Amino acid sequence: MSRPPLAAIILAAGKGTRMRSDLHKVLHPIAGRPMLGHLLGAVDELSPAARVVVVGSGRDQVERLAAPLGVGLAVQEPQLGTAHAVQQAGGFLSAFAGDVIILYGDVPLVRAETMARMLDRLNEADAPAVVVLGFRPADTLAYGRIAETGGLIDTMVEHKDATAEERALGLCNSGLMAVRSADLWRLLDKVGNANAAGEYYLPDIVMLAAAEGRRSAVIEAEPWEVAGINSRAELAEVEAAWQQRRRAAAMAEGATLIAPDTVWFAHDTRIGRDVTVEPNVFFGPGAVVADGVTIRAFSHIEGATIAAGAEIGPYARLRPGAEIGAKAKVGNFVEVKQARLGAGAKANHLSYIGDADIGAGANIGAGTITCNYDGFFKYRTVVGANAFIGSNSALVAPVSVGEGAIVGAGTVLTRGVAAGALAIVRAPQQDKDGWATRFRERMAAKKAAAKT
């Protein structure tokens, strides 16, 4: 269906006092992404002509996220209700003609597909005045109620103003709406505040349109999609529900999660087929995992790309910029940051590899570190293909090790090593015959004398 241009208004002016946080409520993350980021990402799938976020306090925080994305920021001060909040976006949309979708910054997981259904319904032949997104929660709590017949709204009322009969209705109002711009501003001007809270309610535009003889429509979404977040507990509940759906999706797409409830995904985690994820693995933002990878227990992966057949962990940490080649191995207590491990390379134990290029088939011995930072600048280490770095070595960058070279265990490497060469930097070993025996005898005598 061809639709008119779209503008999105996101209401985010609530004080968020129940969060008890210095961080604006809509910036608290779910799956590593701010709530507002989730919502804007879904809106952008519909290619909107304009996006406006309405804020109250905490404007500077929201602006840091919104401004680089070209999102308009309107301020509602004082906060006189949701209808009043939408009116504050008018300055950005005075010349806009098309459909307007109204969303809430603390209802972050509504999908683009659901928004599209709302807009399609708005543009059907019977041309409803407003399309409201409804849902049927297990507990209707203090949500506004909707009475409908065949998908057309008969009445809609806020919980505070509802009768006992109306509160018994199971269909609730999420607050999300779609309306034509030509109707929106005119109906908002008619909204009054003669209600229990003395506020200007956005849902009143539905019954104001009805008074003009125009019906509004309701479509329904799953309760999880319109879950609102007002406290840390609700944030945790939404996070847990999001993770459960993402785990199910990963398994449905061909990954094995041995203990699903212990695996945590980010909003953008990409995971291939025949991947095995052991218990207690955490994915931060920016992780891409190809087919056939094994990720062992207690690994932390963020901003990293892992090629097919690689093996990670247990207890490995891949930080942003880590690129792990096909069939490479990153073992227990190994940290990789801004570094590339070529195909088949191995770093199996107790190593730090930062700002480095490790060639295909190279071996990084236990306890090896790249010394990449002098307190002011970062420097790069290059290890050639099939090179062997002995255990407990320190590679002081900038430094390079040629293809097939060997660095002896315990070496502190400060200059380059030619291909095929051996580099050893360590003090010569000294053996003193009988020294240990004489030392023990002397100390035993001293200890005995101390007791007398």
Q: Are strands 369-371 and 399-401 parallel, antiparallel or unpaired?
A: unpaired
Residue 446 lies in a domain: no
pLDDT tens digit sequence for 101-121 = 999 999 999 999 999 999 999
Residue 74 lies in a domain: yes
Q: What is the pLDDT of residue 161?
A: 86
Same domain, 108 and 204: yes
Closest CA to 361 of 335, 342, 389: 342
Angle at 8 between CA 152 and CA 159, to 5 degrees: 45
Which CATH number covers residue 201?
Answer: 3.90.550.10
Which residue numbers are catalytic?
Answer: 349
Same domain, 275 and 188: no
Residues 51, 72 contacting (CB under 8 angstroms): yes
User: Does the pLDDT value for residue 44 go beyond 90?
Assistant: yes
Q: What is the pLDDT of residue 215?
A: 95
Q: What is the pLDDT of residue 280?
A: 98
The domain total for the chain is 2
Q: What is the pLDDT of residue 410?
A: 96
pLDDT tens digit sequence for 391-449 = 999 999 999 999 999 999 999 999 999 999 999 998 888 999 999 999 999 999 999 99
Flag the least confident range among 113-122, 186-195, 239-248, 350-359. 186-195
User: Does the pLDDT value for residue 74 go beyond 70?
Assistant: yes
d(CA 231, CA 14): 12
Average pLDDT over every residue of 223-229:
95
Rounded to 5 degrees, what are φ and ψ at 53?
A: -110, 130
User: Does the pLDDT value for residue 232 go beyond 90?
Assistant: yes
Same domain, 277 and 366: yes
Q: Is 267 in a helix, a strand, or coil?
A: coil
User: Does the pLDDT value for residue 41 go beyond 80?
Assistant: yes
pLDDT tens digit sequence for 2-32 = 889 999 999 999 888 899 999 999 999 999 9
User: Does the pLDDT value for residue 1 go beyond 70?
Assistant: no
Question: Residue 149: how many CB atoms within 10 A of its CB?
Answer: 8
Average pLDDT of the residues of the chain: 95
Residue 150 lies in a domain: yes
Where does a domain end: 209, 226, 243?
226
Same domain, 210 and 264: no
Q: Which residue has the higher pLDDT, 30 or 56?
A: 30
Q: What is the pLDDT of residue 190?
A: 95
Q: Are strands 346-349 and 363-364 parallel, antiparallel or unpaired?
A: parallel
Same domain, 197 and 274: no
Rounded to the nearest 10 degrees, the angle between the axes of helix 35-44 and helix 59-66 is 40
Residue 81: band (very low, low, confident or very high) from pLDDT cuts 50, 70, 90: very high
Write the DSSP symbol of residue 427: P
d(CA 82, CA 71): 20
Same domain, 212 and 361: no
Residue 175 lies in a domain: yes
User: Does the pLDDT value for residue 452 go beyond 80?
Assistant: no
Residue with the two structure tokens 């939404």: 238
Same domain, 258 and 172: no
pLDDT tens digit sequence for 141-196 = 889 999 999 999 999 988 888 889 889 999 999 999 999 999 999 999 999 998 87
Residue 241: band (very low, low, confident or very high) from pLDDT cuts 50, 70, 90: very high
Same domain, 207 and 284: no
User: Does the pLDDT value for residue 73 go beyond 70?
Assistant: yes
Q: What is the pLDDT of residue 69?
A: 93
Same domain, 67 and 196: yes
Q: What is the pLDDT of residue 15?
A: 81
Write the DSSP symbol of residue 161: G
Residue 435 lies in a domain: no
315: domain range? 254-423
Write the DSSP symbol of residue 27: G
Q: What is the pLDDT of residue 254?
A: 98
The number of C-alpha atoms within 13 Å of 391 and in the hemisphere containing its C-beta is: 4
Residue 451: band (very low, low, confident or very high) from pLDDT cuts 50, 70, 90: confident
